[in-house]
Amino acid sequence: MQDLFFQSEMKSPIGVLKLYASETHLLRVSMEQEKLTAAAKKLQKTPHKRIELLRFAEKELNLYFRKKLDHFTVPIALAGTPFQQSVWKQLQKISFGELRNYQAHAKSIRKESAVRAVSTAIGTNPISIIVPCHRVIGKNGSLTGFAGGLEAKQWLLEHEGHQIRNEMLL
């Protein structure tokens, strides 16, 4: 039996978000600026149907954007290598308003010498915002890399209480 996948779109303060899900788990949150992977392009062919799980994910995201939610509970499924999954699992432990640099994130998964690999894995996070890769910044306080673009990353960090000027944390 073939798995069924569904998608929906929602407007947000950082642009249109595309959400993809199976019947039981959120699989991807994509932003307009994002370059899509082969897996994401395959998901784009899924039917637009706002199943209950997608409505729940949209509700939680809307609450987050209105500062009424700081922890997501929508069920997610992260498809990736064991290394990527360890990086993404650790991202989920970064609380609303908390920041971490790439080196500290590598250290948190006991891969201190693999900062570039950790950075690459963060950059391929399929469930932006909900798996908060935007909370990882450069060691010097710079806003480095974000699939949705640095403007979106800055908006999300300011939304969570940080002050930023010229793509640098103050």
55: pLDDT strictly greater than 70:
yes
Give 170's pLDDT tier (boundaries 50, 70, 90).
confident
Structural domain includes residue 154: yes
Q: What is the mean pLDDT of the chain?
A: 90
- Over 29-75, what HEC string results? EEECCCCCCHHHHHHCCCCECCCHHHHHHHHHHHHHHCCCCCCCCCC
Structural domain includes residue 74: no
pTM of the full structure: 0.89
- Would residue 133 show up in a list of annotated catalytic residues for this protein? yes
User: Domain check: are 58 and 88 in the same one?
Assistant: no
Instruction: Say what the pLDDT of residue 1 is.
Output: 37
User: Domain check: are 60 and 91 in the same one?
Assistant: no
User: Domain check: are 55 and 103 in the same one?
Assistant: no
The number of domains in the chain is 2
Tell me what the mean pLDDT of segment 93-107 comes to.
Answer: 96
In which domain, by residue range, is 118 found?
A: 82-169
27: pLDDT strictly greater than 70:
yes
Structural domain includes residue 73: no
Q: Last residue of some domain: 40, 65, 90?
A: 65
Residues facing 165 on adjacent strands: 168
DSSP assigned state of 141 = S
Catalytic residue, candidates 17, 133, 136, 157: 133
Nearest to 41 by CA among 65, 25, 55, 20: 20
d(CA 156, CA 97): 10
Structural domain includes residue 70: no
3-state SS assignment for residue 148:
coil
User: Domain check: are 57 and 131 in the same one?
Assistant: no
User: Domain check: are 104 and 29 in the same one?
Assistant: no
Structural domain includes residue 77: no
User: Domain check: are 44 and 92 in the same one?
Assistant: no
Q: Percent helix, strand and coil across the chain, each rounded to 5?
A: 35, 20, 45
